[in-house]
């Protein structure tokens, strides 16, 4: 998993044994479904081999993302880590049908949303007007059937778009 995160300069990934893990030093913990029962003091991303398996109940309130390990891509994992670090919840428990690929501009908008960027920040980074970015986000919400920006990011991750 470290190799999937290595390409992102904004993510500093380390490994730790669950017995020695002090979650207070981390923004996000990425664990197996078996390790999800351990108490963490930071948000938890569960990598499950079986998408239907739920993490153990004692820690369920800190589980903010559930990813299916066999089909996980590096882009999905990086986007999930960014979204979780920005305070969003991502649930890929019920994987929908694949979504058609998006153009580069739309993909970049979704990536920046997953990083927690505001409309203004996205517009500045992409050299577009805020109005253009707002319109594109609204179009993406309609296309991915999302009621909010958080749900839009979740849908994009579920669909493997980011």
pLDDT at 36: 67
Q: Which residue has the tokens 């559930």?
A: 66
pLDDT of residue 126: 96
Domains delineated in the chain: 2-91 (no CATH), 104-158 (1.10.10.10)
Write the pLDDT tens digit of every residue in 19-59. Answer: 555 555 667 777 776 676 666 777 777 777 764 444 444 45
**pLDDT of res. 107:** 93
pLDDT beneath 70, residues of the chain:
1-2, 14-26, 33-34, 36-39, 50-62, 91-100
CA–CA distance from 120 to each of 40, 73, 131 (Å)?
Answer: 34, 29, 9
* The two structure tokens encoding residue 15: 């490994």
Both tokens of 41, joined, read 């003091």
Say if CB 89 and CB 64 are below 8 A apart.
yes
Rg (CA), the chain: 16
pLDDT at residue 55, rounded to an integer: 46
């Amino acid at each position: 998993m470290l190799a999937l995160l290595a390409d992102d300069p904004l993510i500093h990934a380390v490994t730790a044994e669950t017995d020695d893990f002090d979650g207070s030093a981390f923004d996000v913990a990425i664990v197996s479904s078996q390790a999800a029962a351990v108490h963490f003091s930071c948000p938890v991303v569960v990598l499950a081999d079986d998408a239907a398996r739920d993490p153990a109940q004692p820690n369920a309130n800190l589980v903010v993302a559930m990813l299916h390990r066999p089909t996980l891509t590096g882009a999905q994992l990086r986007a999930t880590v960014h979204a979780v670090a920005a305070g969003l919840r991502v649930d890929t428990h019920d994987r929908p049908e694949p979504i058609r690929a998006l153009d580069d501009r739309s993909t970049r908008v979704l990536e920046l949303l997953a990083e927690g960027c505001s409309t203004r920040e996205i517009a500045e980074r992409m050299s577009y007007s805020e109005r253009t970015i707002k319109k594109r986000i609204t179009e993406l919400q309609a296309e991915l059937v999302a009621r909010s920006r958080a749900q839009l990011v979740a849908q994009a991750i579920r669909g493997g778009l980011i």
